[in-house]
Structure 1
């Protein structure tokens, strides 16, 4: 089967280490299941692997791709929960298992026609959700759900700022917060992406660093250095910043005086638990909210997809079809 595989890493030329090549069809070990992948989607995590960030070179080669939706060997439609971990080792939360791994970190990922995962990682795909939509959920939408509802515990009427409106997690956070009844503000360098965010229901879409009409209860932060100061300045007294990424850099000035004087909370967050993925699906069914999909590409065009991500040319998620979705 054809697979998109990372064979080397380069910060300057990450796509030089991405190759399409034939690999054997995997066979599940006891307690695992095989999935025929109908749809996957790109994540920044895939790009970080190719750049050598957070992924040791001794784990190469490895098939990339953290998200998957498809069929198990019994023909059931499934969504793959991408965190491979033991809930018992994490106090009931597999994301806190010290030995947890995201799909494609220690085990071949979803940019291939087939993959194998622990059977507990399979979640039934609802009939009302397409495979392309389902493939957008596990990493980006699951992360956004955990940030908003588990960590920040937002409720209807809360004021929420989402930095970097075009990204996968950010676009998901906007859609989910609006669906939950929050008043949402968003920022983006792109005028087109700000205009798109307005169609998603934000109260205002602003340029990075622009002053908000009011201070917010919660900031959803995935950009890092470029927006950190603005995030803290936009926060009300006692408000919360939830951070789950730092695409512009991970070492911003701390501004500790502002944090302690205003009694702000800074919370880290990662991908979701299996239970949170199920809860996300329930919320989507209840509200009708759906993922923002920029476009879908065949696996053979995956280099083009990565380049669009590198260039900042995506709004929402880019779906990858490892095989013909009609087959």
Structure 2
């Protein structure tokens, strides 16, 4: 089968580690299902894998990808939950939590094998392309906003780095839920795009906000951390899901403990979170923002666009 995989690691030039070619089809195993992938989507996790973060040399080659929607062996249209081992389904009670493309081959292929319990029915209201955007970026944003920060309609949130997958998801989901969303970006075009998606305010990166917010969605890291700490209300929450600009500088611990700011890490979400997100999108008409589509054979083009930060929304890969 055709697949995109990390053939080696390349910390400074991740695309040099990428290969697209034939890989063996998944082997049948008890309590697992092989899904025919109809659409997948790209995430920064794929670039980190190519850099060697989370992958050891003995795990290579490793098929990339954590998101997919497709068809199960019984013909059911499904969405893949990419977190494996969180509750032991099909992988043993002592299996540590991992993501597809870390211990097990990922979704950037014509076929992917996952624990059967990791399959959720695809709502008929969503296309394969739309559904494939949800299990990583949108699930992470959903959990950050509504589970970790526990935001309610009328409250406020700062989303750092408009244009990225999680940031765009947080704008779309937050606006749909009645939150006052403020975004930051160095790009005027990305700020305007965020406003068109429902953000109430869009400011340059690092600019002072009109008022402090109830929570911050932080996926940028070093470039925005100090701004996040200074922008959240006393007793507020900073939800962290990534550090695309590198690890944070000094942690601002004095401000964090004095202002009683909660800092919570988020990696995707539970199967139940994903089911709730799918229902939310189906019932409200909210749809993920899609930047572009590329065929699997040209996945390098999509990853190059992601690495350059040129996208707004999700880049979808169609096998």
Same fold, judged at TM 0.5 (above): yes
- Mean Cα displacement is larger for which, 278-287 or 221-230? 278-287
* Superposition pairs of residues 116-127 of structure 1, within 5 angstroms: 116-127=113-124
Residue 212 of structure 2 corresponds to which residue in structure 1? 215
Q: Note the residue ranges of structure 2 that are not aligned, 5 or more in a row.
A: none
Alignment check: 8 A CA contact 1:259 1:265 kept:
yes
Residue 267 of structure 1 corresponds to which residue in structure 2? 264
CA distance, structure 2, for counterparts of residue 296 and residue 175 of structure 1: 20
Runs ≥4 residues deviating over 6 A? none
Residue 296 of structure 2 corresponds to which residue in structure 1? 299
Residue 80 of structure 2 corresponds to which residue in structure 1? 80
C-alpha deviation, 1:287, in angstroms? 2.1
Is 1:311 aligned to 2:308, yes or no? yes
Is 1:27 aligned to 2:24, yes or no? no
Give the SS at the match of 2:37.
strand
CA distance, structure 2, for counterparts of residue 54 and residue 117 of structure 1: 19
CA distance, structure 2, for counterparts of residue 225 and residue 101 of structure 1: 25
Q: Note the residue ranges of structure 1 that are not aligned, 5 or more in a row.
A: 323-327
Within the candidate set 113, 127, 130, 1:130 is matched to 127
Residue 40 of structure 1 corresponds to which residue in structure 2? 40
Alignment check: 8 A CA contact 1:34 1:117 kept:
yes
Alignment check: 8 A CA contact 1:143 1:271 kept:
yes
Give the SS at the match of 1:205.
strand
Alignment check: 8 A CA contact 2:160 2:216 kept:
yes
TM-score (norm 2): 0.96
Distance 1:209 1:302, change over 3 A: same
Alignment check: 8 A CA contact 1:296 1:320 kept:
yes
TM-score (norm 1): 0.94
Is 1:140 aligned to 2:112, yes or no? no
Alignment check: 8 A CA contact 2:223 2:248 kept:
no
* Superposition pairs of residues 76-225 of structure 1, within 5 angstroms: 76-87=76-87, 99-225=96-222
- List per-residue Cα deviations over 1:154-191 (Å, max 9, x = no partner): 10011100001111011101111111111000011111
Alignment check: 8 A CA contact 2:174 2:181 kept:
yes
Give the SS at the match of 1:226.
coil
C-alpha deviation, 1:10, in angstroms? 0.8
Give the SS at the match of 1:87.
coil
CA RMSD of aligned residues (A): 1.4
C-alpha deviation, 1:56, in angstroms? 2.0
C-alpha deviation, 1:88, in angstroms? 6.0
Alignment check: 8 A CA contact 2:79 2:120 kept:
yes
C-alpha deviation, 1:98, in angstroms? 6.9
Alignment check: 8 A CA contact 1:28 1:117 kept:
no
